[in-house]
Amino acid sequence: MTAGACILVLLGLGAAGAIWYTGSAAREAWASAFLWGYAGAWACYVIAGVVVSRARLPRWALVWIVVAAVGLRVAALERTPSLSTDVYRYLWDGRVTNAGINPFRYAPNAPEVKHLRDENWRQINFKHISTIYPPTAEMLFAGLARVRDAEAFRWAFALFDMGSVLLLMALLRRTGRPPERVVWYAWCPLAVTETTAGAHVDAAGLFLLLLAFVLVSRTEGKPGAASGIALAAAVMAKGYALLAAPFFLRRGGWRVAGAFVIACALLLLPYLGAGSQLFSGLRAYVGAWETNASIFLVVDRGLENVTRDNFGWARALTVGAVLLFVAVLAWRQKPGMEGLMGASFAAIGAQLFIGAPTLPWYLIWLVPALCWWAVPGLVLFTLTVSAQYYARWLFPGDEAAHYALLWAGYAPVYALLAGQVIWWRLRRSVPSRSP
């Protein structure tokens, strides 16, 4: 056994132990134990990524990476405290659908659905807002809600997440990269905890987006109808996948555009009876949510003395900036699979850094990029985005502390990203020497 392989085995065991530690404290003191365990798992994860990138490893190392990835998720399912109440909204939406009622039509506190309330209903946040989740997600919720247990969602999303690991391995092979680099996603504590303990539907949406990439890779980088359908399913699971659509459509032309539009329409069709209520939850989300944002927050606060509708203008300006960035990327998109994936992940990254909100589980959509481009700033962000968000529970009600945590998390990330850009530009400006 090589030294690199020995280190990798120890790091996998260390990461699993750290994830196990996240559930070591009593419920009222969960945040501190979670943050320490998360930080320990993250340290093992980063070292493992460096080892995989630089050491010569035996063939069985890939098997160990996958086995350890399963172990990490099982440890999180068993030990990591519940990080979100979103799963209770999923259960509610599924329960409403299974009762033959359109989940977009009524908010959970509406009298028309009062008869469906159960013990899980009390756990739902924002009961006055109808669902914000699109059709693919709603269909999944309806299926899983038949079990009537939040654990069914956690295990299902863990399986979707492991499916993403397998799809990433296939993509790495098809792009000529060592499949062992999947460790940058498979062992990432953010992906592990947010898809299991967090039980976020983003796991299913990311799986479908990666499936679309795999389908494109089978046709030499040119999207076909099948990839357009997979992309539509991803978009209708969570809207982040929509940021990849311009790059698929520009390459695939009318055939992909037609398949994409028709698939989206068919998925929407069963819910059109909600009328204007179909988008009421989304309007509330766009009009109010800014949690954990960075550039959006700066723009919003900067406009407070300029206009009363500072939030609306901040939303318009940041959305415009992201759309402009996506348009430039689509115009200058590089050929090949890495060109398609790189543009898609860059667009998602732009939304995460420029737009709002920037919740930890949203970063799941960007973590796969590290398998190809392990940018230090993004690697660090997988730690700080969770630390700054969950550390707020150590200072309940202290808004000043929350802002301090926010910027303490973002400052080193932006510094590293800026340094990376400067380094890239310096490298490009130095003329290559002839041998």
d(CA 307, CA 328) in angstroms, rounded, equals 30
d(CA 180, CA 111) in angstroms, rounded, equals 53
Identify the pLDDT of residue 431: 64
Q: Residue range 403-419: average pLDDT?
A: 95
Amino acid at position 404, single letter: A
pLDDT tens, position by position, 98-114? 999 999 999 999 999 99
Band (433; pLDDT cuts 50, 70, 90): low
How many C-beta neighbours within 10 Å does residue 225 have? 16
Q: Tell me the CA distances in angstroms from 155 to 87, 193, 200, 203, 367, one per residue in order.
A: 12, 12, 11, 11, 20
How many C-beta neighbours within 10 Å does residue 220 have? 9
Q: Taking Cα atoms as reference points, which of 190, 187, 189, 240 lies closest to residue 210?
A: 240
Angle, in degrees to the nearest 10, between helices 135-145 and 245-268: 50
Band (434; pLDDT cuts 50, 70, 90): very low
Q: Taking Cα atoms as reference points, which of 124, 116, 111, 34 lies closest to residue 80?
A: 34
Residue 299 has pLDDT above 70, yes or no: yes
Residue 254 has pLDDT above 80, yes or no: yes
d(CA 138, CA 122) in angstroms, rounded, equals 20
Question: Considering the entire predicted model, what is its pTM?
Answer: 0.95
Cis peptide bond N-terminal to 357, omega within 30: yes
pLDDT tens, position by position, 328-346? 999 988 889 999 999 999 9
d(CA 17, CA 76) in angstroms, rounded, equals 10
With b for 16 or more beta-carbon neighbours within 10 A and e for fewer, the 127-145 pattern comes to eebbbbbbbbbbbbbbebb
Residue with tokens 């530690």: 21
* Average of per-residue pLDDT values in the chain: 94
Residue 426 has pLDDT above 80, yes or no: yes
How many C-beta neighbours within 10 Å does residue 185 have? 25
